Every structure is written in structure tokens, then in C-alpha cells.
């Protein structure tokens, strides 16, 4: 089979590899689609400590072989794969926080033609979902996990900063929940155009004052701000934008220190919530949201590329671009 392998930073190659040999508790999935996520891009930019990393984890496809211990799936089933397996026994797993299990097994190789997956990683997808739609469900579930943690709900006035995939999925979910009003901040023209499907007001932060516009649009206050840009200054400003008892949710990887006065959070009872990953229940719930038509993910998929085009797509994403979500599509 053909696999996408990271040799070094900025060195992604298509090479021949043996098909995975499945164990008794695994299924072999013929991959039909796999999304490029921020983690993939980080590995591409900076390299990995491990050599010859097979890339990709937001994958979907068809089961072509099952191990003898598999009970819930059979050959021919269409599935999406949640690329991690928790231990199920640790302190966090016993409390339902499987997604942050410190010994979880992260499974890659979704950009390959075939991938082996344990039964607990598989979610059946309905016939009215395309494989491309199913491949972006994990990113959507990451946004859902954060929105739930921050307890953002019906009637809230919300700001989303950054209209990449995570920010736009958050916006779509917030609309489904029934927030009162939604303001989205994004410098890219194309992404602002996409964001306008869900936002009451779209802001160009390069030319406009987000804090002023948000307070006016969301009067009497900004109840929550969902930070999806990863920019330190944007996160610092978030604590000044939300109102009393406001919530700031960090959904993007901010890799630098920030300056925040804790007294500001104290006297205004501002809550700072961080969110990482998702669990299988959230993953399956997002599949149902797409199946039912409550959330439309198609506008967030900016384009599909072939397996052979992936190296070029990764390099493009490292420079100035206005893509949202790129998905590998294998006919």
C-alpha cells in the first residue's frame, strides 16, 4: 500500500509500505478520507522525535477485515476512526476523562491506504454522510468538548476569535445550541466569508476594534469568548472583553506566555477554561448532528486533495493561505 511518511521537518513523502496485520481485537479499514489537523501541521513544521512517522489520524473508510474478537462491526461497515485508545484503568479514565489518559495509545497512519484500528476507536457512520464529512467529525468533537466544559448555552452572547476549523465548528455548534448572538473575529477574507454563515457580526481584527464591536453587538455583555487563534495577544485581550462572570475558553494551542492580572479574574469572577481533545460519546454525537442536518460541515471543508498531493498541501499550509479544512480523498 501507499503511505504518507514524515522523514524530517518539511519532508513528507509517499512511499510503499506493507499493509497492517490486524490483531484479534482490531479491524482493517480501507481509508477513503482523512483530514489535515493542527497536530499534523505542527509535526510537519517541527519534525518528530521518532523517525518515519506515518501521518494522519482524522480518518474514515470501510472495514475490509475484522479480528475474531470484534463483535460490534463487520466487513463492509462504513466507519470513522477516533485515533486514540485510553487505558480505561487510570485515575482519569475511572472519572470519565478518557481523552486525557496519560497512557493512551495515539494511533496514526490515516493518510495511508489502510489502517488498523481497535474496536473501541470505531464509530459507524450513516449512509447519508460522505467519507469527507466523517473525516472532519473529530475536529468538530474537539470544539463540542470545549463548549460543554465552558458551559456555554442558550441565550449566551459569545465571541469566537479565529475562524479556522476549530473556531468554525465551535460557531456552528453554538448556533445549534441557540446562543443569543455570535461575533466572530478573523483576519482572512475567505474565512470571514465562511464565518458569516453563523455569525451575527464578523470582525476583521486588523482594521476594527473587536472589544468595542463585541460589547456593542452582545449588549448587555459578552458572556463567553472562545479563543481559537492561538495568538497570545488575543488570549490576553479576551479577559478584558468578557463581562462579569464571563468565561474564556482556550481551544487553540497558545505556545507563548501571556500577561494576565489574576485580580481581574478574581473581582469579576471570570472563569478560564482549557479544553483538549474529545471522547467517543462526543465523537458519536457529532456524527449524529451531521446526519440529522443540524450542523452543516461542508462549508468548512475548503478543498479535497489526493494522497499524492498531500506533501504540496502541507507546504502550502505553512505559508500565507486562506484554506480552512483540507481533506485527503481516496476514490
Could you list the active site residues?
A: 39, 42
How far is the CA of 215 from the CAs of 184, 187, 230, in angstroms? Answer: 13, 19, 22
> Do the Cβ atoms of 239 and 248 come closer than 8 Å?
yes
CA-to-CA distance for 174 and 157, rounded, in angstroms?
A: 10
Alpha helices by DSSP H, the chain? 38-46, 131-135, 137-149, 165-177, 189-195, 210-217, 232-241, 262-267, 280-291, 310-318
- Cβ neighbours of residue 37 under 8 Å, at least 6 residues apart? 57, 58, 138, 139, 165
> Do the Cβ atoms of 81 and 121 come closer than 8 Å?
yes
**291 phi and psi angles, rounded to 5 deg:** -60, -40
Report DSSP letters for 142-166, one per residue.
HHHHHHHHTT--TT-EEEEE--SHH
Polymer length in residues for the chain = 331
> Do the Cβ atoms of 39 and 91 come closer than 8 Å?
no
- Cβ neighbours of residue 29 under 8 Å, at least 6 residues apart? 59, 61, 62, 63, 64, 79, 81, 114, 115, 116, 117, 122
How far is the CA of 20 from the CAs of 86, 116, 165, 314, 330, in angstroms? Answer: 21, 6, 30, 25, 18
Report DSSP letters for 299-326, one per residue.
GGEEEEE-STTHHHHHHHHHSS----EE
Amino acid at each position: 500500500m501507499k503511505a504518507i511518511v514524515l522523514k524530517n521537518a518539511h519532508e513528507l513523502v509517499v512511499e510503499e509500505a506493507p499493509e497492517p496485520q490486524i490483531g484479534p481485537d482490531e479491524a482493517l479499514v480501507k481509508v477513503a478520507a482523512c483530514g489535515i489537523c493542527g497536530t499534523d501541521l505542527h509535526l510537519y513544521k517541527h519534525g518528530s522525535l521518532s523517525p518515519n512517522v506515518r501521518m494522519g489520524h482524522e480518518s474514515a473508510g470501510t472495514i475490509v477485515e475484522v479480528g475474531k474478537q470484534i463483535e460490534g462491526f463487520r466487513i463492509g461497515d462504513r466507519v470513522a476512526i477516533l485515533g486514540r485508545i485510553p487505558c480505561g484503568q487510570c485515575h482519569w479514565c475511572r472519572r470519565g476523562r478518557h481523552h486525557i489518559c496519560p497512557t493512551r495509545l495515539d494511533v496514526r497512519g490515516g493518510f495511508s491506504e489502510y489502517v488498523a484500528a481497535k474496536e473501541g476507536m470505531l464509530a459507524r457512520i450513516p449512509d447519508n454522510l460522505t467519507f469527507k464529512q466523517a473525516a472532519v467529525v473529530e475536529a468538530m468533537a474537539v470544539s463540542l468538548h470545549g463548549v460543554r466544559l465552558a458551559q456555554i448555552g442558550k441565550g449566551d452572547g459569545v465571541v469566537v476569535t479565529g475562524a479556522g476549523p476549530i473556531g468554525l465548528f465551535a460557531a456552528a455548534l453554538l448556533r445549534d445550541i441557540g446562543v443569543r448572538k455570535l461575533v466572530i473575529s478573523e483576519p482572512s477574507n475567505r474565512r470571514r466569508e465562511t464565518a458569516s454563515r453563523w455569525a451575527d457580526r464578523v470582525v476583521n481584527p486588523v482594521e476594527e476594534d473587536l472589544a468595542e464591536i463585541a460589547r456593542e453587538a452582545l449588549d448587555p455583555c459578552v458572556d463567553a469568548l472562545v479563543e481559537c487563534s492561538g495568538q497570545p495577544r488575543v488570549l490576553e485581550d479576551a479577559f478584558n472583553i468578557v463581562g462579569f462572570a464571563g468565561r474564556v475558553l482556550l481551544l487553540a494551542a497558545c505556545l507563548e506566555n501571556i500577561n494576565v492580572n489574576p485580580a481581574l479574574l478574581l473581582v469579576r469572577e471570570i472563569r478560564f477554561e482549557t479544553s483538549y481533545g474529545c471522547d467517543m460519546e462526543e465523537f458519536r454525537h457529532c456524527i449524529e448532528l451531521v446526519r440529522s442536518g443540524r450542523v452543516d460541515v461542508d462549508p468548512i471543508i475548503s478543498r479535497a486533495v489526493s494522497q499524492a498531493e498531500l506533501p504540496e498541501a502541507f507546504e502550502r499550509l505553512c505559508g500565507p493561505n486562506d484554506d480552512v479544512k483540507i481533506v485527503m480523498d481516496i476514490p
